[in-house]
Amino acid sequence: MKSTLRITAAALSLAFVAVPVMAQSAATLPRAKFDAKGIARTETVRSEFDSKREAIQVRVDFKPGASFPKHSHPGAEIAYVLNGSIDYEMDGKIIRLKAGESLYIPAGAVHSAKNTGAEVCSELATYVVEKNQPIVILDK
């Protein structure tokens, strides 16, 4: 039993040594730069996932009433609402999420997002997408 614990502990410590993590607190992230539509996208992580895909994490801030139009991604997305509330439209349905809730969006699924509150709201969007492809593909 003790040797199993030592091996597991050693494997975990090697895993943490082998993969450097660059953490940024919200205070150290660059100030959000809103576009004309009231959306700010701040990339926080970009790393190789495997030989064909990369993992990307982006903080997306929405001014009150701002919306991101229908679009898709060349891979899966997990959207986690940091603060406020956001209405996502996907498959003809409205999905309202508030802070602390998340949504899985399959690769290629067309969806949109809108801040339904009176204050700036934010989400953390995590993507595992094909390399050398645009992260966001606007729907026509």
What is the total residue count of the chain? 140
* CA 23 vs CA 12, 44, 114: distances in Å: 19, 9, 28
- pLDDT tens string 34-51: 999 999 999 999 999 999
Output the pTM of the full model.
0.77
Cα distances (angstroms) measured from residue 93 to each of 2, 52, 68, 122: 53, 32, 16, 21
pLDDT of the residue at 32: 77
pLDDT at 82 (0 to 100): 96
Contact between 86 and 110 under an 8 Å Cβ cutoff? The reply is: no
Least confident of 23-27, 46-50, 80-84, 108-112: 23-27
Cβ neighbours of 86 (radius 10 Å): 27
C-alpha span between 125 and 72 (Å, rounded): 13
* Max CA distance (Å), the chain: 61
Q: Which residue has the higher pLDDT, 76 or 22?
A: 76
Residue 119 has pLDDT above 60, yes or no: yes
Q: Which residues are registered as beta bridge partners of 58?
A: 43, 125
| Amino acid type, 110 | V
Mean pLDDT over all residues of the chain?
84
pLDDT value at 131 more than 90: yes
> What is the strand order of the sheet 75-83 is part of?
39-48, 53-62, 121-130, 75-83, 102-105
pLDDT in tens, 1-11: 544 444 434 43
Instruction: Sketch out the chain's domains with CATH numbers.
Output: 24-138 (2.60.120.10)
The structure tokens 């919200």 sit at 26
**Residues paired with residue 24 on neighbouring β-strands, in sequence order:** none
